[in-house]
Amino acid sequence: MQVTVLYFAMLRERRGASQETVELPEGGDVATALAVIAKSSPQLAPWLPRIQVAVNQIIAPATQALVDGDEVALIPPVSGGSAGHRIRVTSEPLSLDAVIASVMRPECGGLVTFSGIVRRKGAIPNVVRLEYEAYEAMAVRILTQIADEIEGEVSGTEVAIHHRMGALFVGDVAVVVAAAAPHRAEAFTACRSAIDRLKHRAPIWKKEIGEEGEIWIENCC
């Protein structure tokens, strides 16, 4: 059987391709796919124990069986299309006003926002720019799940997340989160929860490019 394998960020660079078709034996599972990939692309083998795998945009265990035509995405450790105004993953500059407008309601008396800004000093000195990459369809799904979770956990809240893709320079806005609630305590809690969960779960990666080198950032807060 054949499956389509998607590569992102450092895996894409090391493989030299963003996707490929891989032949697997009938009845193969995720572990089988990883073994085949490690054998055909030994440069990826050191990374495979550290990644997650998504089958048809859903995180899957190693034991999940695959069928012909499945999409298998290799998800490197995260650093971090659009779905309406509440959740956006976009190459366009972000608007704080647009994020606020998507959460404000007459019953909300508290509004908290967070803006992530590209800074000069990161994991390497003298950062020139960041390059953000995403598994876009899955990123929108995960960000929507995060917003839905928080709205269910923190009473009365409205949460929006907009994330930028592509090349960003020092001072550019990379991500904006807005949380509105009847009272300030809930709004603060929801906003912080959203950015913390995004950084650990969304399939969005960033590379820092500096004057003297570059590096992919893992689990960046």
Q: Is 78 left (phi over 0), alpha (psi -120 to 50) or beta?
A: beta
Domains of the chain (ranges plus CATH)? 2-75 (3.10.20.30), 82-217 (3.90.1170.40)
Q: Mind listing the pLDDT tens digit for each residue in 17-40?
A: 999 999 999 999 999 999 999 999
Cα 76–chain centre separation: 10
Cross-sheet strand order for the sheet of 166-169: 166-169, 127-134, 204-210, 213-217
40-90 tens-digit pLDDT? 998 888 888 878 899 999 989 999 999 999 999 998 876 544 444 789 999
Its pTM stands at 0.71
| DSSP assignment letter at 156 | T
pLDDT of residue 48: 87
DSSP count for the chain of H helices, then E strands: 5, 14
